[in-house]
Structure 1
């Protein structure tokens, strides 16, 4: 197969659409519609700035491209066939997309996932990569099926370092740059292979190496001193990559409760020492909070 693919883009942000749009065009293909859904976390409500994000998408919408705001997967499955899409492309979309939606496109759908699959499948892979102490991460473009992040890998690249001092904006910029490189590569491979069912388009994931990056549980909200210093340090590092209230895990120190924002595993200068399962950890930045219920 060779030709200009008609692609429907899925995302929850203006930046996500812009990156996918540019990458598709760079590969010689035509985005024909955007599908937007705002990000949310169970029990936490919608992601911050959802109305602002939608407004930004409308303002940057390319000429001739429609914006779809579906209420459900069923309504989306009814709407998409009218666009005669060849492919669906997700770049940061918060829904699990069912088969009836994937079947609306001739070739099915592909997803951009910010981890080295099969490691850290699920909604927050970067948080879990940091919490697990991974030294690097990367981006995977894979076929979509009925499960989360389990489809065949079309293209993947690592080499994005996870520094001890994580700076979210810098890390996201690296991931976005890598996404911009990999989407055109994936589309070229699909164009050469023909369809999502072709055995030579992508490689199956190794289930023995799979991990799942689900929503952080209540244990993420508190410091458990029975864990190692490195585990707690990585927990604090992961909390900086996201929006939490309070912004870091809480712990009682010298009779007062604090939200821990930054820690250090060596003595250095300054900081408040706490004892963990295998030794000390130093809290170097925190803020006072009310005693948790």
Structure 2
């Protein structure tokens, strides 16, 4: 252990302010003019490049990197918050770019804001209190989200999208640039517009991640059963049962159904009437 510590020294720039009580792992680099609060835990190999502020009961996962003028674990922008000891947790190897703000949770929420591992949050994005981001999520520049948002693994949120509080974004979903998302996005769903409308599934992600052609074919059929052109004649519950019975063998379709069945405060993003002609495109 001693040899490892010598090989990976912790380096703190003379202008950085690291409070007594902060816990630093091996190989941590804290650059110029950074500020680290007394209840912060920084795991091995973390780098704060410069002018980074980390406060509150915050844990930074191993190998994560923080670019200038981002803030992590600051008090939430919630008038109900009265200084309770809530938390913020960032996963391993996550990258947080310039001017990003990630606020800690609230006592009236889950009490923790959590960002997963291998996440990329690009410049000027805001992750509000009590949000939960899964692993390998990409948040592009200027994205803003209200409190209590949940974003599943592998989701992609494009630039300047705005996500309403309590919205759920499913696994591997795609939110287009400048979209205003008021309701939940199903796993593998692709949404565009303000207000956002479902335009199809995230076909590019499915193909790039090795999903077999027969599974993609099943997913296309199931999607068009749920969301037929011009809305169809059958009620949504009937269409949902048809998919449940017809595609019980497909785990990804069952994942979509489980997401739809789960409790929601916002309902589902659905296609605009007449949009179904574009639902079958590979580029969606």
TM range (shorter): under 0.3
Q: Which has the higher contact order (CA 8 A, sep 6+)?
A: 1
Between Structure 1 and Structure 2, the one with more helix by share is 1
